[in-house]
Structure 1
Amino acid sequence: MLHIAGIIISLFLALLLFTKKGKSTADFILAPWLTLTAFHLLAYYILISDFFIEFPYFLGFEIPIPLIHGPFLYLYIATLTNQRNRLPWLIHFIPAVVAYLLLLGFYTLSFSQKIIVYQNNGIGFESLLSIIRFPIVPSGLIYVVLSLILLKKHRKNISGQFSYVEKINLNWLVYLTIGMGIIWLSIILGNDISTFILVDLFILFIGYFGIKQVGIFANQITDEPLVAITSGALKNHEEANDSSPLIISNEKTKYEKTALGDEQLLNIHLQLKLLMQGEKLYKDPELSLDELAKRLGVSSNTLSQVINSMEGRNFYDYINNLRIAEFKQTVILPENKRFTLLSIAFEAGFNSKTSFHRNFKKATGLSPKAFCQQEKIQLGNQS
């Protein structure tokens, strides 16, 4: 019954994603992944219930599916975090394709012959099944590690493009990836029942957060049809997004095409300071590098170079330091004694207590409360 519930939930969540308005590219990956998971659960249920004797039509098709889950996880995270790879995405599915090709001999058998093979633990195909199953667990664990590496890079990258991280740090995907790792460990231990219970929980988790997750980067919202999941369409999609801000870890590579002279750096930096002093854009809690660059009439890559070179910090730290300075100027004013620390922090541009306390301590070495005590500032509630 639990597996039937998992199948229904998978299909329901996939349907929600297929019909979701303003779908992101990641949704076009998650929806077929959930559909595949539903089929995997269905095939497993047919096997454990011995229903395959009356319904042998799916026999053999479930065997290579575990080789597909790892690539789907990796590609889903790569898309959400905008860490595109120039290699065609379909390369990740080559092992599964090879496995299906190796099973062609089995697929050509009659239904009655397939049933006999399954009833006798794969008789006649033992060596072939061993070859196919051998890379399944290593492949799954490798993709778990690769996915965690992507998420680690993402945490570093968003600090260079956004002034907030709370809604876009994708912590839920870290837990999801660890959950995938636990599923693979369960497979190693050979407990099928616990494995598929974990899969059911995995479906609920990824479905709930996946549907809620919006595109983080400006180029991630699309309504192109699902047929885009082909090598040609994916290539076109990447080419269409070449103008979007790419995430590049190497600083030298990042700026080599937009090297600015000292005069240009000084000029853009001056414009930036005047804009911040005049309009206090840092008070927008969701200010991004891309939005600020548009206001200055420069590329986001150029602005990032200016901030890194002239301020000696990334965009996230630059904006939050301005917010802290604004907080300090505001909190000392006598007319603001009736306000709380948090309300003044929100007015300065912070969007959470955690972010405010973390960044304030990082910049000053003091907690906000300790700072107020040091400056002999009395507020209504120093929390």
Structure 2
Amino acid sequence: MQTFRLIDFIIFLGISQGIFLAIAIQMIQNKNRLANRVLSWILGIATIMLTGRFFFTVETKTVAFFRLALFVDVFVFIFGPLLYLYYRRLIFKEQVKYRLHYINFIPAVGMFTYHLWTYQYSYQEFVLMARSGDFVIPFFIVEITGILFNFYFWYRCFQLFQSYSREEKKNLSYAQDVTSYLRTFLWVVVIFLALWVIGFVQYYFFDIYLSFINYNMIWILIPVFIYIIGFYSLKQPDIFRMPLSIKPKHKSHEGLDLKQIQDLNSKLEEIMVKQKVYLNHRLTLVDLAKTLDISTNKMSWLLNNIHKTNFYDYINKYRVEAFIEKIQNGEHHHHTLLALSIDSGFNSKSTFNRAFKMFVNDTPREYVKKLGAV
């Protein structure tokens, strides 16, 4: 009787959690709905892959299960495109819902065709051919293609992340928690790919086996991956999506002459100094543009070309100045520094600390100490 090993238990746990999370995420209403729909597909694929691996690790003598366990490798070529689709729908807003082009699934179709081709051999013939090395070259081609294909989509996701980080500072005056999630997501995926590359190089070029870095380790990490993205998505708030521009914008001032620039600057100073709109924790470029009754493009141009800054830095400079004014007035004797930063318009401690460090070149607490105000 086949023993049930630790890796079998971990894989089985990942399967059960994957099924639960794929269903639970779909039940969340009005929270990143389009992105979560793709995420459910990713979780479903990961669950299917784990199921195939489960049948493979328990070394079942059922031929049909063994062949199906190998067949799930097709999903390796679907994971990358879906990961990119999830990223794009999660953090960017597009007028037309982005869909994957069929060309992205050609490798998966090729893998599917290859597996169908292997079915012309019986189970016994397949095992004998595998042991004699007849499948070494086909397996090598398939695996190197899978590695390069998934690295390609990981890089495209990395580009989206960089683009999002830039757009965030152009459109928001605050930082969203999703940034750390996206960064973690990328790191987890690249760790999988790195382990895959190590296992690939070990097998095909050195014929060695390392007990702490091997193929089984990848399958232990997949359930961890399911936990990370699944449970985070259950509690993740609906995020502010950035507009994604495919075509580069023309760098023009959209007809702003000198008098218009002066008038806009005068109005901008008034709403910043007198109305103190920066105290709005979730102030966006759209909000500021509406207040000035201009387009967001004109607002961006005014900040970038006249004030030589982006929206994020422009707003947070006023917030830092408001915080410093509170310190100079001695308000820190009655309130914590975090409370004063919130009263100054910041939405989180991390955003406040980064902004203060950038403009003052010191931490808030050290700054207060140097003033002798503590």
Task: Give the conservation status (yes or no) of the 8 Å contact 1:83–1:247.
Answer: no
Q: Which moved more, 1:153-162 or 1:58-67?
A: 58-67
Partner of 1:345: 341
* Distance in structure 1 (CA, Å) of the matches to 2:154 and 2:331: 54
AA at the equivalent of 2:229? I
Q: 1:186 to 1:246 in 2, by over 3 A?
A: closer
* Distance in structure 2 (CA, Å) of the matches to 1:114 and 1:16: 41
TM-score, structure 1 length as denominator? 0.79
Partner of 1:140: 150
Partner of 1:202: 225
Shift of 1:337: 4.0
Partner of 2:6: none
Task: Give the conservation status (yes or no) of the 8 Å contact 1:285–1:350.
Answer: yes
* Distance in structure 1 (CA, Å) of the matches to 2:31 and 2:53: 30
TM-score, structure 2 length as denominator? 0.80
- Map Cα deviations across residues 259-317 of structure 1 (whole Å, 9 max, x no partner): 53333333333322222233212112221112322333333222122222222110110
Partner of 1:272: 268
AA at the equivalent of 1:314? N
AA at the equivalent of 1:151? F
AA at the equivalent of 2:17? I
Matched, 1:14 2:19: no
Matched, 1:303 2:311: no
Q: 1:98 to 1:67 in 2, by over 3 A?
A: same
RMSD over aligned Cα atoms? 3.1
AA at the equivalent of 1:172? Y
Which of 164, 179, 188 matches 1:179? 188
Q: How does 1:290-329 map to 2 (within 5 A)?
A: 290-329=286-325
Unmatched runs of 5 consecutive residues or more in structure 1: 219-243
Q: 1:205 to 1:189 in 2, by over 3 A?
A: same
* Distance in structure 2 (CA, Å) of the matches to 1:256 and 1:60: 56
Q: 1:166 to 1:338 in 2, by over 3 A?
A: same
Q: Which moved more, 1:31-40 or 1:69-78?
A: 69-78
Shift of 1:135: 0.5
* Distance in structure 2 (CA, Å) of the matches to 1:365 and 1:134: 48
Q: 1:163 to 1:254 in 2, by over 3 A?
A: farther
AA at the equivalent of 1:171? S
- Map Cα deviations across residues 168-216 of structure 1 (whole Å, 9 max, x no partner): 4x22222222221221222233322111001111111111223333443
Unmatched runs of 5 consecutive residues or more in structure 2: 1-8, 200-213
Report % sequence identity: 26
- Map Cα deviations across residues 308-360 of structure 1 (whole Å, 9 max, x no partner): 22221101101101112222333323566423333222111112333223212
Give the match's secondary structure for 1:135: helix
AA at the equivalent of 1:175? T
Task: Give the conservation status (yes or no) of the 8 Å contact 1:64–1:132.
Answer: no
* Distance in structure 1 (CA, Å) of the matches to 2:99 and 2:54: 34
Q: 1:114 to 1:267 in 2, by over 3 A?
A: farther
Partner of 1:222: none
Q: How does 1:1-383 map to 2 (within 5 A)?
A: 1-24=9-32, 25-51=34-60, 52-53=62-63, 55=65, 58=68, 61-82=71-92, 89-90=100-101, 91-106=103-118, 109=120, 113=121, 115-116=123-124, 118-120=126-128, 122=130, 127-168=137-178, 170-190=179-199, 191-218=214-241, 245-247=243-245, 253=249, 255-256=251-252, 258=254, 260-333=256-329, 337-373=333-369, 375=371, 378=373, 382=374
